[in-house]
Amino acid sequence: MGNNNYMKALLPLMITLLSGCGVVVVSTNTPQSLQPGGGVSPTQPTPPAPPPPAPPLPPPNVAGIWDVNDTVNGQPVSEVALIAGGMYFSLAAADQNGCSSLSGGAYTIDGQTFNGTGVTEMLSACTPPSGLGYYPWTLSGYVTNGALNLTFTAGGSPVPTLGATPDPLYNLYTSSIATLVGNWNDGGNVLSVNSDGTYFEQQGNGCTITGAYTVIDPAHNLYGVSVLFDAATCSTSSLAGIQFTGLAYLTPNSSSGWYHLLEDVSGVNASGALVVEFDSLTPYFTPPTG
């Protein structure tokens, strides 16, 4: 026992002397890791990677026919809005000013937000916010629980948020060009739709109107429409030479049992101003169902 204690006491000196002679002493008890103060700690596990970020929500689908039935400052509001393909139109039997009016413009989708700009034309004798027959508007909106919420600034005046709900007409009929082929009554003039969707109308004063209908979604009742008032033959009309684009849909006509084809369109005149127009057609034929 005495000799062992003597050897333990000399061990540090022996290590020092051997190191100086180029001899390396290797310990068989090398620790895996050292803590401050000379302590030994076990190897730590690698932390798990953070979960990937949630994918962005898909943009809301706002295409369709929407009913706006609300109240602004005690004034009932009743409108039908057509929305698709970046185009926004609204025909109001009564708007926030107590007027019947037609609005048309464009919209974009930014994330979950619906944004638009356009103009409104007064269709009845009333006092619009700007005192003019036309005034500009902007809007923003969002979809929640299947409803579209719209907030307008009309003629520089803010309008409280209006709620719009889907109109059953959007799903009432499928759409096809075959449904539109034939002759339609356009205010006493004949508008003839061909099998490819193009159409022609000549009014009593010689003004000719051409255009075309297109199918947006065969499963739903909403069409694209273009309208051109010929610059030469319609020279006396303020609409001459304007290329209009817009949306149209079919609605039952309770008095005849036939369709109405309702159209809202907008176009830019020679002065660069956006103008809007509305038309209602009834068929000279019994159209197919569906």
Query: Averaged in consecutive runs of 10 residues, what is the pLDDT profile of the chain (290 residues)?
Result: 51 47 48 51 78 79 93 91 96 89 94 92 75 85 89 88 94 93 93 97 95 97 97 94 96 69 94 94 70
- The whole domain housing 129 covers 64-167
Sequence-distant (≥ 6) Cβ neighbours of residue 242 within 8 angstroms: 228, 229, 267, 268, 269, 275
Q: Rounded distance, CA 73 to CA 159, Å?
A: 10
Sequence-distant (≥ 6) Cβ neighbours of residue 34 within 8 angstroms: 40, 41
Q: Which of the 8 DSSP states describes residue 34?
A: B
184 and 207 part of one domain: yes
Q: Is-contact 243 267, C-beta < 8 A?
A: yes
Q: From residue 137, give the alpha-carbon distance in Å to each of 116, 174, 249.
A: 8, 32, 24
Residue 261 forms part of a structural domain? yes
DSSP percent split of the chain into helix, strand, coil, nearest 5: 10, 50, 45
CA 83 from chain center: how many Å? 8
Q: Is-contact 248 213, C-beta < 8 A?
A: yes
Last residue of a domain, one of 116, 147, 167: 167
In this prediction, residue 284 carries a pLDDT of: 82
209 and 154 part of one domain: no
Residue 236 forms part of a structural domain? yes
182 and 160 part of one domain: no
Q: Is-contact 162 72, C-beta < 8 A?
A: yes
Last residue of a domain, one of 167, 194, 223: 167
Last residue of a domain, one of 167, 183, 204: 167
Residue 18 forms part of a structural domain? no
Q: Is-contact 79 88, C-beta < 8 A?
A: no
pTM above 0.85, yes or no: no
In this prediction, residue 25 carries a pLDDT of: 46
Residue 218 forms part of a structural domain? yes
Q: What is the CATH number of the domain that holds 219?
A: 2.40.128
Q: 142-147 — which CB contacts under 8 Å span 24+ positions?
A: 142/60, 142/112, 142/113, 142/114, 143/60, 143/61, 143/62, 143/112, 143/114
Residue 5 forms part of a structural domain? no
222 and 271 part of one domain: yes
The rounded radius of gyration (Å) of the Cα atoms in the chain is 37
Residue 241 forms part of a structural domain? yes
143 and 112 part of one domain: yes
Q: Is the dihedral of CA 131, 132, 136, 137 positive or negative?
A: positive
Q: What are phi and psi of 179, to 5 degrees?
A: -65, -30
Residue with tokens 């299947």: 146
Total number of domains constituting the chain: 2
- Helices (DSSP H) in the chain: which residue ranges? 2-20, 169-172, 177-180
Residue 16 forms part of a structural domain? no
